[in-house]
Structure 1
C-alpha cells in the first residue's frame, strides 16, 4: 500500500497467530494517508503487510525451516525487492514481535527502527525479587496465561498435525479454535465481538479456512520451537525501538525492564485500552504510537 505522500517512510507490519493481515485493516488509511484522517503528511508510511509463510495469501512451505529467523531473513529480501531496502522500519506483535525483534538484532541494511506491541522476555531472578506492585501484576498475568490459556501453544509447538486435521476438515473446528484465542487474549471479558467487529472476526477465520491455512499456520509454532539459535539474546537490542503496552496483553513489560533490554529505547507508552490484537482493538492508539516512534527516525 503506497502512500500518496512523496516523503512517506516504508513500514513493514507483521501479524501473528491467530491473526492475519486483516488485523491492520483499520490502520492502513491513517498510516498511509494521514492527511485524509486528520494527521500530518510528514507522518505518512508506505505499508508492506505480508502474510506469514503458510498463512493467508502466502504459499505453504514445502520444506522444514520456516521459523522466526528464516522469515525475518525473507522479510529483508522482500523489502529489498520492493525497492525499500535503503530506508525502512518494522512493527510487530505476537509472532510479528518475535520476527521484528529478530530483524532488530540482525540489523539489516536500511532498517532504521522497530516498534513492538508485545515484548518476549525472561525476567531475571533479581527483577522478580524486586518487582514493583505493577510489575508483579505483569508477572502474575503472564503466569496465569501460561497456566490457563497456553495449551494451544504447547500442542502446536509439539504435535501440530494432531490439531491440523480438524482445522482442515471442519469450518466449525477452525472457527472454534481461532475464536477461543480471541476470547482469551483480547481485552473483552471473553466476548471479543465487544471490541472487534464480528465481521472482522469472521473475515479473519475465513482467511484461514478458504486457503486451508489452518494446518500450515499452526506448524509455524513447531518450526519456531525447533529452529536453531532461538534463545533469548543476552545483549541489549541495538536497533532504535518503540514499545507500546496495551492493558489486555497477557505478556507485558515495564519501562525500567525494557530500558535494560533495549539500548536505544525511543518510545514507551501504556495505552488506556486494548489487548493482544492492538491494531484491531485500539486503532487510534496504535497509529499514534507508531507515528511517535518513527518520527525522530525519518
Structure 2
C-alpha cells in the first residue's frame, strides 16, 4: 500500500452555489425571547450566515490547511485522507489522533505542532511524536461510505492498516475523544500487539457482566446523570442512529440547516458558558462547516451512528482493554465518570481532570491536552 500527496481545493462553482443558497435561506419563525432553549438561536444563526456570505474567506482556510502534509491512501477499497507530520526531536513516537462528530480533522490542527515540535512550545524535545490525523471514513476528504457499512471496529482495522502497512509503524499510540475515543478503544481491544498505549477523553460503557462488582454510589450517580443527559441532549444521536437518511436530505441541501444542526453542539458541548465565541471564532466554526458542505459528507458522517448501532456485537466487543490507557476528563459533565467506572473496562495508567475545556478539547485547550498526551506516553518511550 502507498499514499499519494493530497491538496485541498474546492471548485469555485461549489463556493458560488454555497453563497447563493445562504443568501436565499428561508428563515423559520422563532418564539420570542427563546434564546437557545428551543435549539439554535435564530439571531446568532443569522449573524453567522451573514458572516459566511460577506466576510468568510474559504481560500484563506484552504491555505492554512494545505500548510500541513496531507495524503490519501487506498485502504481496504476506501480512500482515506490524512495529515502526516514528522516529529522534531530524537526518536519521535508514532501517534494517531482521531476526531469525532460534528467535528473534523480540522479540530486537531492546533495540537499537531505542540506534539511534533514540543521544544518550540515550552516542552521537551524528547516528547516528540510523528502525528497522523485521518479524516474518519465518510467525513471530510475521506471517501464516503455509501457502499459499505462502517463501525468503530472497522475503523480501528483501517487505522492499523494505515499505520502499519502504509506508513510502516509497527507499534504506535492512539488518542481520541467522542467517536475517536471509541476507535482508540477498539485499537487497544483488537490490535494490542500494535499499540504502545491509548489516550482517551470519553468512554465506552463499562463492562457490567455477571462477574462485575456492584456499582458504587458515585457510579450510580454518574449513570443517572448520563440518562438525564440522554433525555435532554441525546435526541441527535437517536435520530442519527435510527433514521439518518431522513435527516440527511435537509442538511445536505441547506447550508443554514447544516449550520443550525452542528453549531448547537459546539455551543452545548464546549466550555463556553453559553457564549460560543468565547471558544470558537466565526472563522473556525465556518471552516468546519464548510468542510462538511463542500465534501457533501454530512449523510455519511451520521450514517456511522446507524451502522455502528446496528452492527452485530459479539462478546469480544465488550472485553477488557488491557493496553496502557491514559484518561483525561474535560469539564463536560457527561464525560466525567468516576475512575472506578472507567477501570471496569480500561487498564488506567494515568488519570487527569482538566479545569478548562469541553468536548472539543484539542481545539479548546490544545496546550493542556498536549501536555497530558505527552505525560501519558512518556514512560512508554524506548
Equivalent in 244, 250, 274 of residue 166 of structure 1: 250
Show the counterpart of 2:378: 295
Show the counterpart of 1:131: 217
Task: For residue 253 of structure 1, report the CA deviation from its aligned partner.
Answer: 1.9
Query: CA deviation digits over 1:97-133, x for unaligned, max 9?
Result: 11110111012443110000111224859654x323x
Query: CA deviation digits over 1:9-42, x for unaligned, max 9?
Result: 0100001100111111211111111111111111
Retained in 2: the 8 A contact 1:185–1:249? Answer: no
Retained in 1: the 8 A contact 2:146–2:300? Answer: no
Show the counterpart of 2:320: 236
Q: How high is the TM-score relative to the length of structure 1?
A: 0.92
Distance 1:232 1:254 in 2: 24
Show the counterpart of 1:145: 229
Is 1:4 equivalent to 2:95 in the alignment?
Answer: no
- Would you tell me which structure has more strand in proportion to its own residues? 2
Retained in 2: the 8 A contact 1:249–1:276? Answer: no
Equivalent in 29, 42, 45 of residue 113 of structure 2: 29
**Structure of greater Rg:** 2
Q: 1:205 to 1:286 in 2, by over 3 A?
A: same
Distance 1:23 1:231 in 2: 33
Show the counterpart of 1:223: 307
Show the counterpart of 1:41: 125
Is 1:118 equivalent to 2:202 in the alignment?
Answer: yes
Retained in 2: the 8 A contact 1:241–1:265? Answer: yes
Query: CA deviation digits over 1:176-235, x for unaligned, max 9?
Result: 111111122112233322122332111111111111111111111111111122678554
Retained in 2: the 8 A contact 1:168–1:209? Answer: yes
Distance 1:96 1:87 in 2: 18
Task: For residue 236 of structure 1, report the CA deviation from its aligned partner.
Answer: 2.7
Distance 2:152 2:133 in 1: 16
Retained in 2: the 8 A contact 1:249–1:274? Answer: no
Q: How many residues align?
A: 294
Retained in 1: the 8 A contact 2:206–2:342? Answer: no
Is 1:258 equivalent to 2:342 in the alignment?
Answer: yes
Task: For residue 166 of structure 1, report the CA deviation from its aligned partner.
Answer: 1.1
Equivalent position SS for 1:257:
helix
Task: For residue 43 of structure 1, report the CA deviation from its aligned partner.
Answer: 0.5
Q: 1:79 to 1:37 in 2, by over 3 A?
A: same
Q: 1:111 to 1:123 in 2, by over 3 A?
A: closer
Query: CA deviation digits over 1:108-161, x for unaligned, max 9?
Result: 443110000111224859654x323xx566334322220011101011101001
Retained in 2: the 8 A contact 1:26–1:279? Answer: yes
Show the counterpart of 1:79: 163
Identify unmatched segments of 5+ residues in structure 2. Answer: 1-84
Retained in 2: the 8 A contact 1:15–1:51? Answer: yes
Distance 1:54 1:164 in 2: 13
Superposition map of 1:96-107 within 5 A: 96-107=180-191
Task: For residue 249 of structure 1, report the CA deviation from its aligned partner.
Answer: 4.4
Tell me: higher relative CO, structure 1 or 2? Use CA pairs within 8 A at least 6 residues apart: 1
